[in-house]
Amino acid sequence: MNLTKENLGRIRTDALDVPGQNYFDLPEKVLQFGTGVLLRGLPDYFIDKANKKGIFNGRIVVVKSTDAGGADAFEKQNGLYTLCVRGIESGNKIEENIVNASISRVLSAKTEWEKILETASNPQMQVIISNTTEVGITLVNEDVLNSPPQSFPGKLLAFLYKRYTVFNGAPDKGMVIIPTELIPENGEKLEAIVEELAHLNKLEYAFLDWLENSNYFCNSLVDRIVPGKLPQAQHLEMENKLGYKDELMIMAEVYRLWAIEAEHPIVKEILSFSAADKGVVIAPDIEVFRELKLRLLNGSHTFGCGLAFLAGFTTVKEAMRDTDFCQYMRDLMMNEIAPAIAAKDLSLQSSRMFASSVLDRYENTYIEHQWLSIALQFSSKMKMRNIPLLLKYYEDNAQVPELMALGFAAHIVFMRPTFEEDGKYWGEWDKKLYVINDDNAAWFQEKWAAKEPSVVVSNILADKDFWAADLLKLPGFEKAVTAAVLHILQKGVIYSFKEDGLLEISGVNLSKAR
């Protein structure tokens, strides 16, 4: 049996949240650019949940913008798909299976552009969501009356111009537009591109006025790990358990956040689905959520990445099973990162509460997050995410953050190229080779040419242009990092956690600094 509208009534299991047949009669209220798993696992999850609570009562028209893949599975399954939520929340194991009925249809921009434009004539359309990758929000000087325009901003502008024309510029027929691409100020940047493109297309002044004053472009931040398809064995196991076949089944972690920046009351009124789940936050300023995610989630990943890999761990969940490494990550976030980001608009308590949720996510046994994937562009991540944390910690405490120093030292060791071949740099650890996927690998190769670890560390910290800061001026930091680098090279990372008294940084024994 396939997952379809007609077969919903034949599903016999208590382990599943199934929509009622009346959901298929709900009007289309959302136009979504993108069929990716992040959209289906986060915004579409919230909308489906709200519909089931009788709050939003609207479905989604999805625009498939690329040539890859097809809409056949969506059509065959009436837009239905199973979302398997797996993970830990407040120490409790969570397993949920949800049949999502939020998608009404999927249309191809390449072959069904006129049908997509027809949705602009729907008076109940209110919201536009996108996830077209970061490259999608770029300006392409093109004729938006092409069928279809090439770029996402071009397609968006064409839709808005069609809507303006159909409704004669009615102020209440504008849209709430929420890009979820992972770039800062994504709404503001998209709005600026769309407005510039409208000028380049010499669209009339009245439309430009309507575009600016009747539409709401919102910055947003999304945070949920959605690995997508389950491994084949797990997929078949779930199909057997649920009693139907589902080509579109995906998995997501428990944690979810969609922070939307908006001040106008009408935006919150239109985005009524926000009332269905605490994971949707509508606020005048979402910078605090960006700071929490960047420093505690991404930042701890970056500090812990080199240590975990050099200690022999392949995945995050594998590393978090190790009591000592888990304690390292906990203490790093709770005692060094959280205090460093605490400010007037972000209390230490709030920072530590978020850190607790991050630890739950790290311990999710269903997510296969590879440390080598996290190490992609390792040095840039260290510079952007963690150097500001390091400087802020020193500003507040005037002493060495022991765990940051250890993570930084492991970063230096990980970034030691053994050789270069065809433009690709390779490192070696424990007699195993690994690719250093980093644009600055040649810079590290040059620094490691000094051979002597203390000189290597000094040269790396001294490069103010690279780090945008003079790290040699931080009291005790050079000594701490050098000690850690020497220890890792001579004894291996694992002893940093397991041999009491073996590693001292600035006179502090890490194994007793907990």
Please give the CATH number for the structural domain made up of 8-283: 3.40.50.720
What is the DSSP track for 435-495? E---TTHHHHHHHHTT-SHHHHHHHHHH-HHHHTS-GGGSTTHHHHHHHHHHHHHHH-TTH
Angle (deg, nearest 10), helices 402-414 and 323-331: 120
What is the four-CA torsion angle of 65, 67, 72, 75, rounded to 10 degrees? 10
Please report, as a single letter, which amino acid is at residue 214.
S
**Which strands, in side-by-side order, build the sheet including 424-429?**
419-421, 424-429, 432-435
| Token pair listed for 96 | 């949920």
- pLDDT (0 to 100) of residue 102: 98
Contact 336, 329 (CB under 8 A): no
- Exposure class string for 408-422: b at 16+ Cβ within 10 A, else e: bbbbbbbbbbeeeee
319-323, 441-445, 448-452: range with highest mean pLDDT: 441-445
User: Could you state, in order of their start, the residue ranges of all structural domains in the chain?
Assistant: 8-283, 287-512
Angstrom distance (rounded) from CA 481 to CA 461: 10
H or E stretch covering 100 = strand 92-100
DSSP single-letter state for residue 297: I
C-alpha 246 chain-centroid distance: 26
CATH architecture group of domain 287-512? Orthogonal Bundle (1.10)
> So what's the pLDDT on residue 79?
96
Two structure tokens written together for 139: 């300006």
Please report the pLDDT score of residue 71 as a whole number: 59
Q: pLDDT of 218-235, one tens digit each? A: 999 999 999 899 989 999
Residue-level pLDDT at 66: 65
How far apart (Å, rounded) are the C-alpha atoms in residues 312 and 486? 18
Q: What percent of the chain shows pLDDT beyond 70?
A: 95
Each residue's pLDDT tens digit, 242-251: 999 999 999 9
Q: CB within 8 A of 233, min separation 6: which ones?
A: none
> What tens digit of pLDDT does each residue of 137-163 get?
999 999 999 889 999 999 999 999 999
Tens of pLDDT, residues 251-285:
999 999 999 999 999 999 999 999 999 999 999 99
Domains 8-283 and 287-512 are alike in CATH topology = no
Helix (H, G, I), strand (E, B) or coil at 424: strand
Q: Which DSSP category does 97 fall into?
A: E
pLDDT digits (tens, 9 = 90+) for 495-507: 555 554 444 444 4
